[in-house]
Structure 1
Amino acid sequence: MENKQTASKGKFPYRLGFGILLGLLGWLIPYLGVNTTLLPAKIMQIAPNQKVQIVAMLATIAMIVATIANIIEGALSDRTVSRWGKRNPWIFLGMICTLICFFFLTKVTTISGIIINWSLFQVALNMMVAPLVAFIADKAPKKYRGSISAFYGVGMNIGTPVGTMIASRYLTNINGGIYIFMIFEVIFTLAGLFLVGDGSNKGEKVKKLHGSELLEAFFFPIHGDVRDFYLAVFGKLLFVSAQFLITGYQLYIFIDYMKLSSASATHNLSIMSIILLIAGVSFGIIGGPLADKFHSLKLLVAAATVAMAFGVTIPAIDPAPWTMFVYAGLSGSAMGMYNSVDQALNVSVLPNPDSAAKDLGIVNLANSLGQVFGPIVASVIISTIGYRMMFPAAGVMCLVGAGLILMIKKVR
């Protein structure tokens, strides 16, 4: 209610923006910290000789589970009626379930146990992902959509480096790092929900669905203007895949490709993360307001994707830490600009506003799938021709993604 009143007065909805930011950080930082650093470290302890293949296998299974869970849970959120709103119950339940999975992750000692745990974690995580991003479609006034998207984008740019920085401090105490992330998740998620203040929707009428309508409510959209929607989905998938083709193996890049000790790798991971954080947040802050001022979403997203293509190719030049620092500066800037306007672009190409959480969940499934697809591609390249070629491969993926974004017609 407060957000509607704020919008009607023409005031910027700061509570919505900061609520989305904190809610996003609540799941993103713990997830990325564990997924990119602590989980590979745990796998390296259990099966050091098969670590690359196991990470790829785990990513494949997680991709399949996340795809199904994201669509179903997003669709259920769209159709939820409760005294706590349609998004809050799912986000809160997702928080509880991810905490349970994190706790049991500290107890498992086998690869099969990790696979089962991480699959269940993907189900729990996507209870939070799709409903949270739907707040932008539900509550953000159109004239401020770019700026509200920037809050989400700044969170995306904070997530990877901060998660890595925290996790890198716990490479020799993996369980301790997981417990820290659990505490972090509770504080930030609850603070985000409080700020957004999504109230009861008990009076809302939910249309009963039959036949093909019921199928489409829990499936990829096939009606309406879906061309631009799928261009946005696959453009985002390639961008995120290129990013995680590197970050999914960043610990191994420093140790195996650059031949550093674990201590030196930890130090350089921290430096790289600081660079990513500064560059990402700096460009993330300006992206949304620029989009609102010049009414240009597509060109900003495409330009950021091209810039990312240059950044990800740099480490192929020399297997030395300085190349990862340059990569962090260029890619961090690109990710900052991209993430700050990406959600506004996604909302603009939705084929049906009544299925916002489900459809935005599909768009943002590109995040989950990209974090999985990237490591799979990296694993194939590393196993066949070595680490060096993974970097130009990531660059090609970015350029193709930029081409898809430029093909969108509905948005400038």
Structure 2
Amino acid sequence: MENEKQVAPKGKFPYRLGFGILFGLLGWLVPYLGVNSTLLPAKIQQIAPNEKVQIVALLATIAMIVATIANIIEGALSDRTVSRWGKRNPWIFLGMLSTLICFYFLTKVTTVPGIIINWSLFQVALNMMVAPLVAFIADKAPKKYRGSISAFYGVGMNIGTPVGTMIASHYITNVNSGIYIFMVFEIIFTIIGLLLVGDGSNKGERVPKLHGSELVEAFSFPIHGDVRDFYLAVVGKLLFISAQFIITGYQLYIFTDYMKLSSASATSNLSIMSLILLVAGVSFAVIGGPLADKFHSLKLLVALSTVAMGIGVAIPAIDPAPWTMFVYAGLSGAAMGMYNSVDQALNVTVLPNPNSAAKDLGIVNLANSLGQVFGPIMASMVIGFSGYRMIFPMAGVMCLVGAGMILMIKKVH
């Protein structure tokens, strides 16, 4: 409880924690999504235009494997780190430096194997930041404010996706300049986030030595405690994110190949779509957390958001025209806003062991990484088999199944 007092003295709302998590999240999310969803596909299109869909899927597969291993190991190591800078800060700072190095070398590579190696190393670096950052919610947020603090994370998630795309869309024909812009952005926002959270020294904290089965459990998926709800939350999140990234992973190609637009027109429509996502997402993210705290309705809000996302992602199947992507942006933006604002509060509530918060939250949030990979892989298979139109109803069905998983959770109302 000591950390809670540091963040929210005398029961005051922990604004510094909330804004610290918001800035820290934007520090890695905006650059990552901008590059992953737009600049990386643009670079691949320049290098290998005839194999671009298959290469994006291959990259996603390799990234999924690397991210899975890195997330568990780095989250577990963060839980057990003792230093004068705390147990989360060293990992987040090291992750920032490592991702910047990967971004720099991405501007230099000119071959598909080079991109694959670089992006694999980037996944290792990125996950040094992801799991430790979200663990601040479990470490420091007082229980009564958990939904509202989660809303800061949700606002960041809903700013990150469209802002990353909006920035990147202006650099489709000048990929390296876009990457450099994102590098500067990452440095500024990550450092602001760490300073706001102010996670001080945890020297003197006792970390028990691990032997035998305890060692294995510290670096593996949880199998003890109340894990049923935990894994329902993981699978529900995986399906939600996968459906989102079926669209996001191929949004540039949806405009150019499915809707037959020129690169200039695609850039313009990407910007409009991203603006709609931003406005809808932030609007609903702001109200989601406080609603959850007031009505204690985490599970219902997450499930309804997943259904709304399912409707949104299915809309572009109606007509290969930009207006359907704008409707998708409005519905899915609102869904992501509500979902992201309460999702982390739900995740913290279903943790089987609070002493392994970063590792277990890393596994829950691994659904983010895996979904960003699994979605494009599924989309690639469907595009190759029947074209773009069928990826939209497929994404809708995935969301409906995900909503069912969330409603099966018993520990959360």
1:217 alignment counterpart: 218
Report 1:8-157 matches (<5 A).
Answer: 8-157=9-158
Distance 1:38 1:128 in 2: 21
Q: 1:349 to 1:115 in 2, by over 3 A?
A: same
Q: Secondary structure at the match of 1:387?
A: coil
Distance 1:376 1:384 in 2: 13
Distance 1:3 1:242 in 2: 36
The residue type paired with residue 312 of structure 2 is G
Distance 2:206 2:372 in 1: 37
The residue type paired with residue 222 of structure 2 is P
1:181 alignment counterpart: 182
1:358 alignment counterpart: 359
1:241 alignment counterpart: 242
The residue type paired with residue 145 of structure 2 is Y
**Does the CA contact (< 8 Å) of 1:3 and 1:16 recur in 2?**
no
The residue type paired with residue 52 of structure 2 is K
Distance 2:297 2:336 in 1: 17
2:310 alignment counterpart: 309
Distance 1:309 1:118 in 2: 29
Return the offset for 1:7: 3.1
Distance 1:143 1:8 in 2: 14
**Does the CA contact (< 8 Å) of 1:238 and 1:398 recur in 2?**
yes
Distance 2:187 2:318 in 1: 42
Q: 5+ unaligned residues in a row in structure 2: which ranges? A: none
Superposed CA offset, 1:130-161 (max 9, x none) = 00000000000000000000000000001110
1:207 alignment counterpart: 208
1:328 equivalent in alignment to 2:329: yes
Return the offset for 1:2: 7.2
Q: Secondary structure at the match of 1:9?
A: helix
**Does the CA contact (< 8 Å) of 2:13 and 2:145 recur in 1?**
yes
Q: 1:17 to 1:247 in 2, by over 3 A?
A: same
Q: Secondary structure at the match of 1:219?
A: coil
The residue type paired with residue 309 of structure 1 is G
1:251 alignment counterpart: 252
Distance 1:402 1:4 in 2: 36
Per the normalisation by structure 2, the TM-score is: 0.99
**Does the CA contact (< 8 Å) of 2:137 and 2:150 recur in 1?**
yes
1:341 equivalent in alignment to 2:359: no
Bigger mean CA offset, 7-16 vs 381-390: 7-16
Return the offset for 1:80: 0.2
Q: 1:151 to 1:395 in 2, by over 3 A?
A: same
Superposed CA offset, 1:212-264 (max 9, x none) = 11001000000000000000000000000000000100000000000000000
Superposed CA offset, 1:167-195 (max 9, x none) = 00001110000000000000000000000
Q: Secondary structure at the match of 1:371?
A: helix
Identity among equivalent positions (%) equals 86
Per the normalisation by structure 1, the TM-score is: 0.99
Distance 2:6 2:308 in 1: 39
Q: Secondary structure at the match of 2:390?
A: helix
1:382 alignment counterpart: 383
Q: 5+ unaligned residues in a row in structure 1: which ranges? A: none
Distance 2:309 2:53 in 1: 24
Q: Secondary structure at the match of 2:324?
A: helix
1:272 alignment counterpart: 273
2:407 alignment counterpart: 406
Distance 1:110 1:8 in 2: 54
The residue type paired with residue 277 of structure 2 is L
- Shift >2 Å, 4+ stretches: 5-8
2:170 alignment counterpart: 169
Distance 2:67 2:257 in 1: 30
Distance 1:140 1:105 in 2: 37
Distance 2:174 2:328 in 1: 28
Distance 2:244 2:302 in 1: 15
Distance 2:337 2:245 in 1: 15
**Does the CA contact (< 8 Å) of 2:7 and 2:140 recur in 1?**
no
Superposed CA offset, 1:104-148 (max 9, x none) = 000000000000000000000000000000000000000000000
